[in-house]
Structure 1
């Protein structure tokens, strides 16, 4: 089997928790949140930001389109960093352990240009990747095949030498279709165990 040449991390729900519904439940209550998310395609709105549209402009436009929900939609902009929280400490330790071993570590993430800039000073580990593939800058999001092609072209590594962790199965299926090795992230311990199984970290290093 081809040697793993790089480990690729998704960010949302792998290194940083991303649960907008949970956040809005805490702010406006579960019943009102359910009504809001049923009325407005907020994840679709966020996809526009992840494709590279300007964060503020997209949120303001959406808020204007739904005046009954204007203030709640603006929370997505004004309190975004509270939604993208907290970090997942064990995953951050794994990122740093891999780098300490000399294993190249990449980020491949659906993330907006401005939102990534907001997150960087709050989460310093976002600056620690060997290569960062941020959808907002690339103009394409996972699981569209083009984004994986762009990663391959940039890093120059064979697809089968990349090990990719993501919490969404559709993103992994798209990567696997190109030959990438994949791991469905459902918690940091399972990811740690996979890295040990692959011989990239020892059990002690993966704690």
Structure 2
């Protein structure tokens, strides 16, 4: 194993729309219904695929005028969905960087809002390359975005660890020859990095 590819959201960055919408809804059940049926994961995926926020928000607002304010907040207050860095994971990233391990990232993220994350999190500058779905107009687990990562970064999947919190994304990476790990916790990742020889044995996230 030579290099590591990280997913960002759910692995290094804590992103959850509930951080924002708990401020806008007094009823938790209504909030969950809104996030599953209005500003849904399927709708958010369109943004990850590069659809402009302004267009997506306008169309959704017309379909659900009752929630116009909440829909608009998905764009205007998007930064409030960021809960911060996942400290243990960022610490491991720093240790890998200190050992000279080539680091890359592959993320499903809108190109518009990724600019906010770049400014907020300095550790995003530690990667040699970050492939963003919103810029590529294709997202995980589509094999095409993995192929672009391999070609652009000149990676050998057989010597590359791929870390993601979504099993489907890891399965796609494995099918293309990567060594894939489903992220569950920084502690679990630390053990896997040590087992693969990236870090010294016995290293603990946060320790």
TM-score using structure 1 length: 0.91
Q: Distance in 1 between matches of 2:43 and 2:128?
A: 30
Q: Residues 205 and 131 from structure 1, CA distance in 2 versus in 1: closer, same or farther, beyond 3 angstroms? A: farther
| Residue 41 of structure 2 corresponds to residue 34 of structure 1 | no
C-alpha displacement of 1:45:
1.8
2:96 pairs with 89, 95, 98, which one?
98
1:16 pairs with 13, 18, 40, which one?
13
* Contact map agreement 1:45 1:59 (CA 8 A) in 2: no
Q: Distance in 1 between matches of 2:164 and 2:122?
A: 20
C-alpha displacement of 1:57:
2.8
**What runs of 5+ residues in structure 2 fail to find an aligned partner?**
none
* Contact map agreement 1:10 1:109 (CA 8 A) in 2: yes
1:143 pairs with 136, 141, 144, which one?
141
Q: Within 5 Å, which residues of 2 pair with 1:45-124?
A: 45-124=43-122
C-alpha displacement of 1:23:
4.2
Secondary structure class of the residue paired with 2:106: strand
| Worse-superposed segment, 141-150 or 120-129 | 120-129
Q: Distance in 2 between matches of 1:195 and 1:48?
A: 33
Q: Distance in 1 between matches of 2:154 and 2:105?
A: 15
TM-score using structure 2 length: 0.91
1:54-96 per-residue CA deviation (whole Å, 9 max, x = no partner) reads 2233223322221011111112112211112221011111111
* Contact map agreement 2:6 2:164 (CA 8 A) in 1: yes
1:159-189 per-residue CA deviation (whole Å, 9 max, x = no partner) reads 1111011010000111111111011111111
1:184 pairs with 169, 182, 185, which one?
182
Paired positions, count:
204
Q: Which runs of 4+ in 1 moved over 4 A?
A: none
Q: Distance in 2 between matches of 1:133 and 1:21?
A: 26
**What runs of 5+ residues in structure 1 fail to find an aligned partner?**
none
* Contact map agreement 1:24 1:30 (CA 8 A) in 2: no
Q: Distance in 2 between matches of 1:145 and 1:204?
A: 33
Cα RMSD of the aligned pairs, angstroms, is 1.7
